[in-house]
């Protein structure tokens, strides 16, 4: 451990948490959030929804099974930095191709270990998610404080345009049964894996793609992906979503995509105090009255009470979180458009909600039938 | 859907005595179930034969039946109580099997009792290997290749496709009883035969060995609306091939990626649905090929289990409690998470810490037993530890085991680690075989420079775990070699879980010095909360563990708080009975306005349920760990007298640190334990002791033994459960004892007592407040003197002792209580020989018999103890006279012999029983009969008694055998005994001794021609014969009796069973009878003798 050097996490309210780092790194600011996933660190780190965030893992032993090429949710780590209690020095898994430590270091992502992550988590829980910075040193320096102050706030931040694909690209078999256009705001790979496995060819388009271009592509339905940042900052895409949904094209949104769908029909979103991040959130499905254990990763949520979505009569609430009663799903009362706040694609997390993809494909199917 | 309103009364079945594979975890689950049902307003009827449990405390259920947990007896309870429903999933395999028997014989249907929690079909699918395999096939889940067989021929027909090594698992047995691994056809046939014999349905699964595969368990819950949650994942550090109860296990799973974990989770959900557990929990085991990730489903238990208790403690999610609520109609989302109170139970706990569980073995009690770990469970208890990291939890868990290892340290000698040399090749050979010591052999291997990958290959333990251990060793070396220990280094080591003792040893300084240095740096642990949600929500439940971090979450209670030290891992001699005492006293402190702080390390117990105390610290019971908690809490005082030896050993250290001990002080405890000081006290009080002496060398021992006269009882001072205690008949044997027994030194002297042959022994449990001492009960042992009191059956009230002798014992007890200044409970052991009362031992602390006395008499001694410890007088508490009972209670010990082949069953001064049962009836014979049935030794009502006793016992056995003959039994005996009996008019047929030819006694037992065996050791020549006969009896479940007094008692019992049908009565009604008696004769201060038959002894 000769190379270990002191490092710390500093929050904008002045609280700071000492740890150590095995590699040097520059001051790195970001929004500090925690996730309670017990497994799936590689999926978390590569999930574009975490763009711009310093992620605290509440699970204490990270890196045990190394890294591999399969558990990637995008082409690279998306998190700004990682904070853990203990980073494995040795890993073990028949699928591993490398160590987490080296994998992050090679990609320039700082990781601090030895932190009392529970204290940090409890701090965020009571004070709310906030900006922070990871830096080397025994204790916070003025330079780090200045860098933190100069960093952007998450509210009003459009990160989707950073996370999206630069150009249209097509995924899947040309002979697939359905064609879906997916707005990419930072889409996880597993969404594509599932859609293609269910018989969809997917054209992934940039966040700024006009509705007219989508119509040109002639899809059977539209998918609105997950992604990072404040949904209110992605207003430019709302008219396009509204237009496409109004044509009667089946529309399915996940996470940020779900928030955008709600906003497009006049709904409103709020920033949650410290967000939902983990793989154990109970969600009630009003239709079946069953509880789904869901994978979640969001800092904003659609506003609503009981079944009513604030600001619009076009939508109704279909799912709620049993922990804090926030809105977890909405559906258009007339159009085949729906969204869920959680992640049915899981990866990481439980598969309880994967039925939503089938639901979407069924909508594509009946839409096509009605067209003929 | 809220609770079911169509049910009014619910019958709950407990698991009976503590045995290997079925221990205190079912007291925990059963107690939670009773409380959960009471909360919902149901009338709760409980059947459990084990008096040492909390669940049988009469204040818990509405109707508490301490009756045998067998289909017949439970049916009697059903007939009497007419419950609406039966909850069979809380009492282990025993309860499940009884419930299934009651379904099959039509009892439940006849009385309109509904099975709730798991229905008949679900139990059958989960338990029957063939049906389970078919269910897995329907789900497309792989199971190990195998076959279900019900004969040796069938077994041989399948072995070719399965191949060796083959795993053998009998259906419907607990703790893997009768299971094993066969490497060749010879072993295979032996194991198949045993498994077929032990399986109640004569069906055995033979399957492909997955030895060395990774082993995982998931705890799953499902409600009737089909909501399913996974409560916890558990990873076994020891790979497949070692029973999970004998494995070191870790939660959450450490080496699974999300992808693999989710595949396992999906499979678990599909399995619980397919099997059809629709309102409760289950445990599912998986094996994973470490090379390819291929996953196999091993088994599913449709009930709470040892693992579910562990998972509950590991996560804070009370599986038994929630399972009970689901069984009466709730859904998961309707129930609150008991820890957060604000979020629902329909979620999956997440951990921001690591939990490690360690098995505790008792091979020192069974030197001839096979110590290799296999698929049949052999451990008798467990410790659990929580740390922020694996390394921290691992070290805390090892020091929690109380096996003289302050962490992961090698033994003082190679033999301690079961090694003959520390040669690399020898270590490598040893590593291939799983044993209790393997975890320490691994350290020796690393010290010898064997690389982690080689160790992984040899042990099958995942390299990740081994690399963690290697890091501990590396850290240790850095610490030992550091020029100076500064604050940073000290903190780093504490964060890795090292104890002060370990660190002191590494630096060549004392634990005390090391601790002072640490304190000088201001380094103390913080206490973190187990909150089910990794800090995501505020939590209301004060369940803590220590870690060296930056934020302490435990708000001290100050002088309102009373700290109770629990009893640590269960072991022989220290089991659930002490947990009962701790819990009962804890509840009492709360009633008296104090707040209780429980410290314990045993995940099986009720005491580590966060619900029973105001604060729970799940911590090792070492001086270091207790001092830190007390330093933070600053309580009114610490209770050390209720948890057995574990807290007693800490008393001096706590006192030295200026911490108030509640009740009887350490000085008195010392006085009672220190033989020389105790002798002086006994002489002063005019109490007779057997002639004795304390020695530190063999020469002294020979002198003392010659002086007091053989036979002598030898034992080390400060013993627990008679460890290393022996009766020695001559000098060569004494030399032998010193040659093999423990290290003798001035700090560890050996006690030598004249052994009182043919004496009766008795125990007295009493309570004192510093002024007054009130007797709780006098129990007479049924076995002869020389059998450890924990192994002897005993009866309350005494049935063969003179009133004068009993009075003398009461007097002596009161005198000792006064002289020792006892405030709390006291236990005195006596022997009566030729009318002389000798005192054998005085224990100013809770005894093993305290729960039995409390249940038998209704006097809540542990509860009263709490009262006097905080300064109440017994008069204030309303307890001023010895309870009188107009009935008889018998306690019988239960032994692990069927789990441990190659162990002789002859009882002696070394305690070997794991549990106990109680029988209550209006006569001695019936009470003893019930106790025997409850202990699993149902006595025969007809058939053949086979008698073979030594010459000394012939005169004694004669009247007993005559009575058996008069009751219509056929008597068979070996030559000497047969001739003796015939000459005295008892017809008996001769059977050849083993060395005389055939058919011999073993043949008779095997062929079912013997229904009861009475055998006392005959002498050196025939030792092997005797041993074979007794082992055969165990194997074929023929009741066996090895002492004359037990034979006499058995005779009474058979007579009682033959003359009438046994009836059942709950404790609450027995007590009512006793109160009615007291009302008739209010002046009565002494125990009345019931009208039952009292047979003259000998």
Q: How confident is the model over B484-541, as pLDDT tens digits?
A: 999 999 999 999 999 999 999 999 999 999 999 999 999 999 999 999 999 999 988 8
Query: Which residue, chain included where needed, has tokens 């250290």?
Result: B653
Q: Give the three-state DSSP class for B1035.
A: helix
* Cβ-defined contact of A94 to B292 (cutoff 8 Å): yes
Q: Which of B132-146, B747-761, B807-821 has the lowest mean pLDDT?
A: B747-761
pLDDT tier, B202 (very low <50, low <70, confident <90, very high otherwise): confident
% of chain B residues with pLDDT over 70: 96
B625/B500 Cα distance (integer angstroms): 10
Tell me which of A15, A32, A43, A90 to substitute to probe the interface with B (most B C-beta atoms closer than 10 Å). Answer: A90
CA distance B417 to chain A (A): 27
Q: Give the closest residue to B246 by CA, choosing from B405, B371, B414, B127.
A: B371
Burial of A147 (0-12, 13-18, 19+ CB in 10 A): middle
**In whole numbers, what is the pLDDT of chain B averaged over residues?**
92
**What is the average per-residue pLDDT within A38-58?**
97
Mean pLDDT score, A91-106:
97
Task: State in words which class domain B533-663 has.
Answer: alpha beta
Cα–Cα distance, A328 to A343 (Å, whole number): 10
Q: How far is B735 from B607, CA to CA, in rounded Å?
A: 44
SS (H, E, C) B554-592: CCCCHHHEEEEECCCCCECCECHHHHHHHHHHHHHHHHC
- How far the first Cα of chain B sits from its last, in Å, is 64
- Asked if the Cβ–Cβ distance from B350 to A322 is below 8 Å, we say no
Q: CA of B51, closest CA in chain A: separation in Å?
A: 40
Contact B114, B103 (CB under 8 A): no
Nearest-CB residue to A60 (from B348, B353, B553) = B353
CA distance B289 to chain A (A): 9
Task: Determine the residue of chain A that is closest to B233 in CA distance.
Answer: A38
The reported pLDDT for the residue numbered B1097 is 34
The answer, yes or no, to whether residue A243 has pLDDT greater than 70, is: yes
Instruction: Measure in Å the smallest separation between the Cα of A208 and chain B Cα atoms.
Output: 33
Q: Does residue A200 carry a catalytic annotation?
A: no
Q: Which of B346, B351, B533 sits opposite A322 (nearest CB)?
A: B346
Please report how many Cα atoms fall inside a 13 Å half-sphere around the Cα of residue B487, on the Cβ side.
6
- Encode pLDDT of A197-227 as tens digits: 999 999 999 999 999 999 999 999 999 999 9
In this structure, whether the domain defined by B691-755 belongs to CATH 1.20.120.550 is answered with no
Q: What angle do CA B782, B788, B790 make, to 5 degrees?
A: 80
Q: What is the pLDDT of residue B726?
A: 83
Q: Do residue B537 and residue A95 have CB atoms under 8 angstroms apart?
A: no
Q: Which residues of chain A lie closer than 8 angstroms to B455, CB-CB? A: none
Q: Does the domain formed by B664-688+758-935+1086-1098 have CATH 3.40.50.2300?
A: no
Name which residue leads in pLDDT, B118 or B235. B235
Q: Bigger pLDDT: B52 or B906?
A: B52
Q: What was the pLDDT predicted at B750?
A: 87
The residue among B250, B257, B294 with the most chain A CBs within 10 A of its CB, best to mutate, is: B257
Chain A residues in contact with B462 by the CB 8 A cut-off are 92
* pLDDT tens per residue, range B272-313: 999 999 899 999 999 999 999 999 999 999 999 999 999 999
Mean pLDDT, residues B949-968: 93
Instruction: List chain A residues with CB under 8 Å of B551.
Output: 116, 118-119, 122
Which residues does chain B have within 8 Å of residue A278's beta carbon, measured at their own beta carbons? Answer: 350, 534, 536
User: The domain B145-209 is classified under which CATH number: 3.30.1490.20, 3.30.365.10, 3.30.390.50, 1.10.10.10?
Assistant: 3.30.1490.20
The pLDDT-based confidence of B175 (bands split at 50, 70, 90) is low
Inter-chain residue contact B256 with A39, CB threshold 8 Å:
yes
Query: Averaged over B86-100, what is the pLDDT?
Result: 96
Instruction: Nearest by CB to A60, from B261, B354, B470: name it.
Output: B354
Q: What is the pLDDT of residue B1088?
A: 45
Inter-chain residue contact B462 with A92, CB threshold 8 Å: yes
pLDDT of A306 reads 87
Measured between CB atoms, which of A60, A90, A121 is closest to B388?
A60
| B972 beta partners | B946, B989
Q: Which CATH number fits domain B9-116: 3.80.30.10, 3.40.50.300, 3.40.50.20, 3.90.870.40?
A: 3.40.50.20
- pLDDT tens digits, one per residue of B834-871: 999 999 999 999 999 999 999 999 999 999 999 999 99
φ, ψ of residue B188 in degrees (nearest 5): -60, -50
Contact B352 A351 (CB under 8 A): no
- Phi then psi for B1049, rounded to 5 degrees? -65, -40
pLDDT band of residue B129 (cuts 50, 70, 90) is: confident
**pLDDT score of B610 more than 70:** yes
Q: Which of A58, A70, A90 is opposite residue B463, by nearest beta carbon?
A: A90
Does pLDDT of B1098 surpass 60? Answer: no
Task: Work out the average pLDDT over A94-116.
Answer: 97
> Residue B994 has what pLDDT?
83
Residue B998 burial (CB < 10 Å; 0-12/13-18/19+)?
Answer: exposed
Contacts of B780 (CB under 8 A, 6+ apart): B760, B761, B762, B794, B795, B796, B797, B798, B799, B800, B801
| Chain B environment of A289 (Cβ under 8 Å) | 225
A280 to chain B: closest CA residue: B348
pLDDT, tens digit, 9 for 90 and up, residues B779-790 = 999 988 888 889
The catalytically annotated residue of A27, A281, A343, A356 is A343
Q: Are the beta carbons of B1014 and B949 closer than 8 angstroms? A: yes
A100 contacts in B (CB within 8 Å)?
none
Question: Sorting pLDDT into bands at 50, 70 and 90, what band is B1030?
Answer: confident
The most distant pair of C-alpha atoms in chain A lies apart, rounded to whole Å, by 70
What are the start-end ranges of the H helices in B401-553?
424-431, 438-447, 452-459, 463-481, 487-495, 500-507, 511-520
Confidence class for position B106, pLDDT limits 50, 70, 90: very high
pLDDT of residue B577: 96
Structure tokens at B1005: 């037992």
Please give, one letter per residue, the 3-state secondary structure of B203-217.
Answer: CEEEEECCCCCEEEE
The residue whose two tokens read 């049964």 is: A177
Residue ranges of domains in chain B: 9-116, 145-209, 533-663, 664-688+758-935+1086-1098, 691-755
- Name the residue among B1039, B1037, B1034, B1008 with its Cα closest to residue B892: B1039
Within this chain, domains B145-209 and B691-755 share the same CATH topology: yes
Write the pLDDT tens digit of every residue in A8-34.
999 999 999 999 999 999 999 999 999
Identity of the residue in B293, B354, B535 whose CB atom sits nearest the CB atom of A118: B535
Handedness of CA B585, B587, B588, B589 (dihedral sign): positive
CA distance B1033 to B1053: 20
Reply yes or no on whether the pLDDT at A188 is more than 90.
yes
Ramachandran region, residue A311 (left: φ > 0; alpha: ψ -120 to 50; beta: rest) = left
What number of C-beta contacts closer than 8 Å exist between A and B? 167
Checking if the pLDDT of B1085 tops 50, the result is: no
Compute CA distances B591 → A135, B587, B596, B876, whole Å.
Answer: 53, 6, 10, 14
Shortest Cα distance from A89 to chain B (angstroms)? 8
Mean per-residue pLDDT for A345-349?
96
Catalytic pick among A12, A123, A255, A319? A255
Is the pLDDT score of B1095 beyond 70?
A: no
pLDDT tier, B997 (very low <50, low <70, confident <90, very high otherwise) = confident
How far from B490 is each of B397, B503, B547, B851, CA to CA, in Å? 20, 9, 14, 44
Which structural domains are found in chain A, ordered by start?
5-150 (3.50.30.20), 160-371 (3.40.50.880)
B368 falls in which pLDDT band (50, 70, 90)? confident
Residue carrying structure tokens 């204790």: A139
* Chain A residues whose beta carbon lies within 8 Å of the beta carbon of residue B537: 125, 323
Question: In this complex, do B389 and A347 lie within 8 Å of one another by their Cβ atoms?
Answer: no
| Whole-angstrom distance, CA of residue A257 vs CA of residue A263 | 10
Q: What is the pLDDT of residues B474-489, one digit of tens each?
A: 999 999 999 999 999 9
Chain B residue numbers with beta carbons less than 8 Å from the beta carbon of A36 are: 350, 352, 533-534, 536
What's the gap in Å between the CA of A260 and the closest CA on chain B? 26
Q: Inspect the interface and report whether the beta carbons of B332 and A279 lie closer than 8 Å.
A: no
Q: How does residue B1060 score in pLDDT terms, banded at 50, 70 and 90?
A: confident
Tell me how far apart the alpha carbons of residues B189 and B183 are, in angstroms, rounded to a whole number.
11
Instruction: Give the residue from B225, B473, B534 with the most A CB atoms within 10 Å of its CB, the best one to mutate.
Output: B534
Q: Nearest to residue B177, comparing CAs of B373, B13, B20? A: B20
Nearest to B900 by CA among B348, B485, B365: B365
**For residue B999, cis peptide bond before it (omega within 30 degrees of 0):** yes
**Strand B228-236 versus strand B249-251 pairing type:** antiparallel
Per DSSP, the residues of B748-762 read B-EEEEE--TT-EEE
A121 and B333 in contact by Cβ < 8 A? no
Pick from B257, B538, B550: CB nearest A71? B257
Residues of B within 8 A of A323 (CB-CB) are 342-344, 347, 537
pLDDT, residue A285, reads: 96
Decide: helix, strand or coil at residue A111.
strand
Q: In the structure encoding, which two tokens stand for residue B447, read together?
A: 């010290």
**Residue B1094 confidence (pLDDT):** 37
Q: What is the pTM of this model?
A: 0.95
Reading the block at residue B613, the tokens are 């105390």
Q: Work out the pLDDT band at B207, boundaries 50, 70, 90.
A: confident
CB-facing half-sphere around the CA of B462: CA atoms within 13 A: 31
Report the gap between the CA of A55 and the closest CA in chain B (Å). Answer: 14
pLDDT of residue A7: 98
pLDDT at B516 (0 to 100): 97
Q: In this predicted structure, what is the pLDDT of residue A371?
A: 65
Q: According to the model, what pLDDT value does residue B830 have?
A: 96
Q: Is A347 left (phi over 0), alpha (psi -120 to 50) or beta?
A: left
A255 is catalytic: yes
Q: How confident is the model at residue B174 (pLDDT cuts 50, 70, 90)?
A: low
Please say whether the dihedral angle defined by the alpha carbons of residues B654, B656, B661 and B667, taken in this order, is positive or negative.
positive
Q: Is A343 a catalytic residue?
A: yes
- Do B257 and A349 count as a contact with CB atoms less than 8 A apart? no
| pLDDT, average across residues B98-123 | 96
Q: Which residue has the tokens 């002791």?
A: B689
List the one residue out of B606, B631, B342, B623 whose CA is nearest residue B499.
B623
The alpha helices in B227-361, defined as continuous H runs, are 258-275, 306-315, 319-327
Residues of B in contact with A42 (CB under 8 A): 257
Beta carbons of B348 and A350 less than 8 Å apart: yes
Q: How much is the average pLDDT of A190-202?
A: 97
Mean of pLDDT values over B220-244: 96
Chain A interface mutation, best of B334, B472, B482, B536, highest count of A Cβ atoms under 10 Å? B536
Rounded Cα gap, residues A62 and A66, in angstroms? 9
Does the beta-carbon distance from A90 to B452 stay under 8 Å? yes
A339 sits in which H/E element: strand A337-340
Chain B: residue whose CA lies nearest to A289:
B225
Specify the pLDDT at position B1092.
38
Residues on chain B touching A343 (C-beta within 8 angstroms): none
Kindly write down the DSSP assignment for every residue of B33-64, as one continuous string.
HHHHHHHTT-EEEEE---TTSSTT-TTTSSEE
CB atoms within 10 A of CB B858: 17
């Amino acid at each position: 451990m000769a190379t270990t050097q002191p490092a710390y996490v500093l929050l904008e309210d002045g609280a700071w948490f000492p740890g150590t780092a095995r590699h040097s790194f520059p001051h790195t600011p970001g929004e500090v959030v925690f996730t309670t996933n017990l497994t799936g660190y590689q999926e978390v780190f590569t999930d574009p929804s975490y763009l711009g965030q310093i992620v605290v893992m509440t699970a204490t032993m990270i890196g045990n099974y190394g890294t591999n090429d399969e558990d990637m949710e995008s082409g690279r780590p998306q998190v700004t930095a990682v904070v853990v209690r203990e980073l494995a020095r040795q890993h073990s898994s028949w699928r591993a191709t490398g160590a987490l430590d080296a994998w992050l270091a090679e990609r320039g992502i700082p990781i601090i270990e030895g932190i009392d992550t529970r204290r940090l988590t409890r701090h965020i829980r009571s004070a709310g998610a906030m900006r922070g910075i990871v830096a080397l040193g025994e204790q916070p320096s003025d330079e780090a404080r200045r860098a933190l102050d100069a960093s952007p706030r998450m509210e009003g931040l459009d990160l989707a345009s950073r996370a999206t694909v630069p150009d249209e690209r097509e995924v899947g078999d040309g002979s697939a049964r359905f064609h879906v256009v997916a707005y990419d705001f930072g889409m996880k790979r597993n969404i594509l894996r599932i859609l293609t496995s269910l018989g969809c060819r997917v054209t992934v388009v940039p966040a700024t793609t006009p509705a007219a271009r989508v119509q040109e592509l002639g899809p059977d339905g539209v998918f609105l992906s997950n992604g990072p940042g404040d949904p209110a900052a992605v207003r430019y895409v709302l008219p396009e979503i509204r237009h496409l949904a109004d044509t009667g094209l089946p529309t399915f949104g996940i996470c940020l995509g779900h928030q955008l769908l709600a906003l497009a029909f006049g709904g409103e979103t709020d920033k949650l105090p410290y967000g939902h991040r983990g793989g154990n959130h109970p969600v009630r499905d009003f239709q079946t009255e069953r509880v789904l254990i869901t994978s979640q990763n969001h800092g904003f949520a659609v506003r609503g009470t009981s079944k009513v979505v604030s600001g619009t009569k076009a939508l109704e609430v279909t799912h709620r979180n049993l922990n804090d009663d926030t809105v977890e799903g909405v559906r258009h009362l007339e159009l085949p458009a729906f969204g869920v706040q959680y992640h049915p694609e899981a990866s990481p997390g439980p598969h309880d909600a994967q039925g939503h993809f089938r639901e979407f494909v069924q909508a594509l199917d009946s839409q096509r039938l009605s067209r003929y | 859907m809220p609770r079911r309103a169509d049910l009014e009364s619910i019958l709950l079945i407990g698991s009976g005595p503590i045995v290997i594979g079925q221990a205190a975890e079912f007291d925990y689950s059963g107690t939670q179930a009773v409380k959960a049902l009471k909360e919902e307003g149901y009338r709760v009827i409980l059947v459990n034969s084990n008096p040492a449990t909390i669940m049988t405390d009469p204040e818990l259920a509405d109707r508490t039946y301490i009756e045998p947990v067998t289909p017949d007896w439970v049916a009697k309870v059903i007939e009497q109580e007419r419950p609406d429903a039966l909850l069979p999933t809380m009492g282990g395999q025993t309860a499940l099997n009884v419930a299934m028997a009651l379904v099959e014989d039509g009892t439940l249907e006849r009385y309109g009792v509904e099975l709730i929690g798991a229905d008949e079909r679900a139990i059958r699918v989960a338990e029957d290997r063939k049906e389970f395999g078919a269910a897995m096939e329907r789900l497309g889940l792989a199971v190990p290749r195998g076959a279900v067989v019900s004969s040796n021929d069938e077994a041989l027909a399948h072995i070719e496709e399965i191949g060796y090594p083959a795993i053998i698992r009998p259906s419907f047995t607990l703790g893997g009883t009768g299971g094993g691994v066969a490497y060749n056809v010879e072993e295979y046939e032996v194991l198949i035969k045993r498994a077929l014999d032990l399986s109640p349905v004569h069906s055995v699964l033979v399957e492909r060995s997955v030895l060395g595969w990774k082993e995982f368990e998931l705890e799953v819950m499902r409600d009737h609306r089909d909501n399913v949650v996974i409560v916890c994942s558990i990873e076994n550090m020891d790979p497949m091939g070692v029973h999970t109860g004998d494995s070191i296990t870790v939660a959450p799973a450490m080496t699974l990626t999300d992808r693999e974990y989710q595949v396992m989770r999906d499979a678990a959900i599909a399995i619980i649905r397919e099997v059809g557990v629709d309102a409760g929990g289950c445990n599912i085991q998986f094996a994973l090929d470490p090379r390819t990730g291929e996953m196999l489903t091993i088994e599913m238990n449709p009930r709470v289990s040892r693992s579910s208790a562990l998972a509950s403690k590991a996560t804070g999610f009370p599986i038994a409690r929630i399972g009970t609520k689901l069984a009466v109609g709730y859904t998961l989302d309707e129930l609150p998470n008991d820890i957060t109170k604000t979020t629902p139970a329909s979620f999956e706990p997440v951990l921001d810490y690591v939990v490690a569980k360690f098995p505790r073995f008792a091979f020192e009690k069974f030197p001839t037993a096979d110590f290799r770990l296999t698929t049949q469970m052999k451990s008798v208890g467990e410790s659990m530890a929580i740390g922020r990291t694996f390394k921290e939890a691992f070290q805390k868990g090892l020091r929690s085991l109380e096996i003289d290892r302050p962490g992961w340290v090698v033994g003082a000698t190679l033999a301690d680690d079961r090694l003959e040399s520390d040669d690399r090749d020898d270590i490598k050979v040893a590593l291939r075989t799983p044993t209790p010591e393997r975890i320490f052999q691994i350290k020796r291997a690393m010290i010898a420079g064997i690389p982690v990958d080689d160790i992984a290959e040899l042990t099958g333990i995942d390299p990740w775990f081994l690399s963690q251990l290697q890091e501990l060793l590396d850290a240790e070396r850095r610490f030992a070699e550091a020029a100076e220990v500064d604050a940073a280094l000290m903190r780093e080591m504490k964060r890795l879980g090292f104890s002060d003792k370990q660190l002191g040893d590494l630096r060549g300084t004392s634990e005390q010095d090391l601790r002072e240095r640490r304190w000088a740096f201001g380094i103390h642990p913080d206490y973190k909360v187990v909150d089910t949600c990794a800090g995501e929500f505020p939590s209301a439940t004060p369940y803590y563990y220590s870690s060296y971090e930056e934020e302490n979450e435990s708000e001290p209670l100050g002088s309102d708080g009373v700290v109770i030290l629990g009893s640590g891992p269960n072991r022989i001699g220290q089991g659930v009975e002490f947990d009962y005492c701790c819990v009962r006293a804890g509840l009492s402190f709360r009633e008296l306005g104090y707040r209780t702080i429980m410290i314990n390390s045993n995940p099986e117990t009720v005491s580590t349920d966060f619900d029973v105390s105001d604060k729970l610290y799940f911590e090792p019971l070492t001086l270091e760990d207790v001092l830190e908690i007390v330093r933070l809490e600053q309580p009114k005082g610490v209770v050390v007298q209720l948890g057995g030896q574990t807290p007693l050993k800490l008393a001096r250290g706590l006192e030295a640190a200026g911490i108030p001990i509640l009740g009887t002080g350490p000085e008195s405890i010392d006085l009672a334990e220190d033989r020389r000081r105790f002798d002086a006290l006994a002489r002063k009080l005019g109490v007779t002791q057997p002639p004795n002496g304390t020695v530190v060398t063999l020469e002294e021992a020979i002198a003392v033994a010659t002086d007091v006269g053989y036979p002598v009882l030898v034992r080390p001072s400060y013993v627990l459960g008679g460890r290393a205690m022996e009766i020695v008949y001559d000098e060569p044997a004494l030399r032998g004892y010193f040659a093999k027994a423990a290290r003798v030194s001035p700090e560890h002297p050996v006690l030598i007592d004249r052994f009182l042959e043919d004496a009766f022994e008795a125990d007295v449990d009493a309570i004192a407040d510093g002024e007054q001492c009130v007797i709780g009960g006098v129990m007479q042992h049924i076995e002869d003197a020389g059998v450890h009191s924990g192994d002897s059956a005993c009866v309350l009230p005494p049935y063969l002792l003179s009133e004068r002798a009993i009075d003398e014992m009461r007097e002596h007890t009161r005198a000792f209580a006064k002289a020792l200044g006892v405030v709390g409970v006291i236990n005195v052991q006596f022997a009566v020989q030729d009318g002389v009362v000798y005192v054998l031992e005085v224990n100013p602390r809770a005894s093993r018999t305290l729960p039995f006395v409390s249940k038998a008499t209704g006097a809540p001694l542990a509860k009263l103890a709490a009262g006097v410890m905080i300064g109440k007088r017994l008069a204030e508490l309303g307890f001023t006279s010895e309870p009188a009972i107009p009935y008889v209670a018998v306690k019988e010990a239960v032994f692990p012999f069927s789990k441990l082949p190659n162990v002789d069953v002859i009882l002696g001064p070394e305690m070997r029983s794991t549990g106990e049962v109680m029988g209550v009836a209006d006569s001695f014979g019936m009470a003893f009969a019930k106790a025997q049935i409850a202990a699993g030794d149902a006595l025969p009502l007809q058939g053949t008694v086979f008698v073979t006793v030594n010459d000394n016992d012939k005169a004694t056995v004669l009247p007993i055998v005559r009575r058996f003959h008069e009751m219509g039994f056929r008597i068979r005996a070996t030559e000497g005994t047969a001739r003796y009996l015939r000459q005295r008019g008892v017809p008996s047929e001769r059977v050849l001794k083993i060395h005389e030819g055939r058919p011999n006694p073993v043949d008779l037992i095997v062929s079912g021609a013997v229904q009861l065996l009475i055998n006392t050791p005959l002498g050196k020549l025939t030792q092997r014969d005797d041993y074979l006969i007794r082992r055969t009896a165990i194997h074929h479940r023929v009741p066996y009796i090895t002492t004359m007094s037990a034979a006499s008692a058995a005779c009474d019992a058979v007579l009682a069973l033959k003359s009438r049908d046994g009836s059942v009565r709950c404790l609450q009604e027995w007590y009512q009878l006793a109160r009615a008696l007291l009302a008739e004769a209010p002046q009565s201060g002494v125990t009345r003798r019931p009208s039952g038959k009292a047979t003259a002894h000998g």
